[in-house]
Structure 1
Amino acid sequence: MSVSAPRRPVTAPDVRARKGGERLVCLTAYTAPVARIVDRHCDIVLVGDSVAMVVHGLDTTLSATLDMMILHGTAVRRGLDRALMVVDLPFGSYEESPEQAFRSAARVMAETGAGAVKLEGGAAMAETIAFLSGRGIPVMAHIGLTPQAVNALGGYKVQGRGGAAAQIKADATAVAQAGAFSVVLEKVAESLAREITAELAIPTIGIGASAACDGQVLVVDDMLGLFTEFRPKFVKRYAELGETADEAVAAYAEEVRRGTFPADEHVFGGEPKAVAGGSAA
């Protein structure tokens, strides 16, 4: 019987080469068990700064720290065999200067084994993207709605409508020319996301953008129904694991209170059972 060869790990150049080809599948992960699941189905696994909200219960992604990202990145890496792991650079760890960004990114790459980093910002971050890319650090860019800048944007609004479209297009062009291997388009007007995807030489990864993008990303806790604090329009729930977990915990609590758990099959007898053909160990 022939044995199929193992799939080799996905790299940033592999992702870039997929422009206009088979669509890229991306989900977030923050733990090794979830990483093992998504690794079987995804090309890219993003250790997003959304971990601050969905795992740590904080109000925004602004509270994510570099140490937090490294901790979760290290855990996720243990669960991956094939997918490209991209780790977010958190707010305050790269905006000051290209040199600061390099120090932060170098820590992430060295300590987690990530294959790339992601940072938010368009034309304003082009110099930083070029600085990192020129020093061996693959960069995934992120434009449109950039959650780390939510206070400056005035909330989680759709980006690129009307006269604002020109700036989003300029941002997309700038990050591509600076050396980003792909770019996330978040909450960008559909027609604009479609246009950018058609014109850009690097893959676009949509989230609340367009089906025409070269790939899609969602927060895994959103699409599994585990994070229920709010539900953006662009999130499709593929499961309601939060409801299932609630039912399971309620059943457990009821059985404990009734004294029906643990049952006989869940406890150990006082005497070891004899083993056929010899004494018990």
Structure 2
Amino acid sequence: MSTPAAPARKPVTLHRLREMHAQGEKITMLTAYDATFARLVDECGVDCILVGDSLGMLVQGHSSTVPVSLDEMVYHTRCVARGNRSAWVVGDLPFGSYQESREQALRSSVALMQAGAHMVKLEGGGWTADTVHFLTERGIPVCAHIGLTPQSVHALGGYRIQGRDEAGVETLRRHAKELTQAGAAMMVLELMPSAVAAQVQADNPGVMTIGIGAGNATAGQVLVLHDMLHVTRGKLPRFVRNFMAEGGSVEDAIGRYVSEVKAGHFPDESIHAY
């Protein structure tokens, strides 16, 4: 006699994510770039799948995310959407697909949404607030991204921690406030001191901050799937934890990531924070 299949979970919606945030439940996010891993990540209970332009480095072999095109992001978003059943899908707007004008950003966002994204993500603060407002007024949910913004790695002088001095902290806080007021529902905070990320979340209680190298005070966490499975070659950032080391399968590793984030045990401030 076969064992009945577990009931599929209800689709994760923006309303549900906001409920989780209001109730203090941590939000989990992982990257995926294809249907197989999207299905697996979804079945393991991850709340959000990020179709990140990090695929440029992990899938395509580039040295940065800059060469990734919109057509490539649309292709991978479509693949992920086919494999996913219930997770909230966030699609990255790649370099050059939104900087020219608000109208260009709208066209690019429409392409990602039509491919299966539920939300688009764009990098940077300051000038991007106007674009965020333009998109959200037209019914496109937006995830902002401040701190280390990989598309600007050459301008930033490398993969450096942001918000190290008073001026840097004030810039991050100002950009976060502007993006929140513009309508960003979610905001990735990358590679900044945990105290700064905590202040950004406190300044903007209504926005769902998602940390990566930003400590444990954010509303949720995101990691690159290849990094947390320890299949990425080379030296990994301090904020990455090898979840495969503690389990015998990919499913175990992803499940442990979900449970550790939900319980507030990852990231560990004494190990992974700056």
CA distance in 2, matches of 1:165, 1:127: 21
Instruction: Say whether residues 1:117 and 2:134 are aligned partners.
Output: no
Q: Quote the offset at 1:230 in angstroms.
A: 3.2
Separation in 2, partners of 1:16, 1:181: 9
- Of 126, 142, 147, 1:144 maps to 147
d(CA) in 1 for partners of 2:97 and 2:235?
A: 27
Q: Structure 1 residues 224 and 190 mapped into 2: Cα distance closer, same or farther (>3 Å)?
A: same
Contact map agreement 1:30 1:47 (CA 8 A) in 2: yes
Number of the residue aligned with 2:38 = 35
Structure 1 contact 12–116 (Cα < 8 Å) conserved: no
Give the match for residue 203 of structure 1: 208
Could you give the per-residue CA deviations for residues 93-130 of structure 1, whole angstroms, max 9, x where no partner exists?
001111100000011111x1110110001122000000
Partner residue of 2:94 out of 75, 79, 90: 90
Task: Output the amino acid matched with 1:18.
Answer: M
Contact 1:223-1:235 within 8 A present in 2 as well? yes
Task: Report SS of the residue matched to 1:225.
Answer: coil
Q: Which residue of 2 aligns with 1:73?
A: 77
The equivalent residue for 2:241 is 236
* TM-score, with structure 2 as normaliser: 0.84
- Take 1:13 and 1:175, find their aligned partners in 2: how far apart are those partners? 19
Measure the CA separation in 1 of the matches of 2:6 and 2:75.
34
RMSD: 1.9
Q: Which amino acid aligns with 2:11?
A: P
Q: Which 5+ residue runs of structure 2 have no aligned equivalent? A: 250-274
Q: Deviations over 1:124-162 (max 9, x none)?
A: 200000000010111001000000011111111101112
Distance 1:12 1:101 in 2: 21
Point out the structure with max Rg over C-alpha: 1
Q: Which residue, out of 99, 104, 108, partners 1:104?
A: 108
State how far apart, in whole Å, the 2-side matches of 1:120 and 1:104 are. 14
What is the CA distance between 1:17 and its match in structure 2? 3.4
Q: Distance in 2 between matches of 1:133 and 1:106?
A: 12
Q: d(CA) in 2 for partners of 1:230 and 1:67? A: 30
TM-score by length of 1: 0.82
Task: Give yes or no for the alignment of 1:16 onto 2:18.
Answer: yes
Q: Are residues 1:223 and 2:228 paired?
A: yes
Shift of 1:190: 1.0
Quote the offset at 1:8 in angstroms: 2.1
**Residue 132 (structure 1) aligned with residue 141 (structure 2):** no
Q: Which moved more, 1:18-27 or 1:76-85?
A: 18-27
| 2:56 matched residue in structure 1 | 52
Q: 2: distance between equivalents of 1:235 and 1:156?
A: 15
Paired with 1:8 and 1:134, the residues of 2 have a C-alpha distance of: 27
Counterpart mapping for 1:170-181 below 5 A: 170-181=174-185
**Paired-residue identity, %:** 47
Letter paired with 1:89 = L
> Is 1:18–1:203's contact at 8 Å kept on the other side of the alignment?
no
Letter in 1 for 2:235: F
Structure 1: distance between partners of 2:154 and 2:5: 54
Deviation, structure 1 residue 3: 9.7
Shift of 1:16: 3.0
**Greater RCO (CA < 8 Å, at least 6 residues apart):** 2
Choose the corresponding residue for 1:166, options 152, 159, 170: 170
Superposed CA offset, 1:236-274 (max 9, x none): 111169xx9xxxxxxxxxxxxxxxxxxxxxxxxxxxxxx
Query: More displaced, 221-230 or 98-107?
Result: 221-230
Kept in 2, the 8 Å contact 1:32–1:75? The answer is yes
Mark the runs of 5 or more structure 1 residues left unpaired by the alignment.
Answer: 245-281
The 3 A distance-change label for structure 1 pair 62 and 195 is same
